Amino acid sequence: MKFAQIVGEQGNTNAVTDTAVAAHLAWAAIEGAALNVRINTVSLKDRQRATQFNTTVSTTVEEARQLIEQIKAAIEVRAGLG
């Protein structure tokens, strides 16, 4: 997603919508991976380890959420949509 942000902010303006699609696909992958981790940590016997995994996932998802919002905002400006 960080590469999508760079391309969205500095790349060819004709490719900003492609950048948006790439960012949304990355966001979907992160969300899907996070769901898999959360589902799998339910069955972990080591609850401390499960909590660590869930905390890491929550942090990663929040960072990605903030990044996708920044990317969307940059793309809207570059594309003349906002």
Task: Report the number of distinct structural domains present in the chain.
Answer: 1
What confidence score (pLDDT) does residue 79 get?
A: 86
* Residues 36-45: tens digit of each pLDDT: 999 999 999 9
Distance CA 6, CA 22 (A): 12
Parent domain of 34 = 2-78
**pTM, to two decimals:** 0.84
Residue ranges in the chain whose pLDDT is less than 50: none
Distances, alpha carbon 6 to alpha carbons 16, 23, 31, 39, 58, in Å: 11, 11, 21, 33, 24
C-alpha atoms less than 13 angstroms from C-alpha of 72 in its C-beta half-sphere: 10
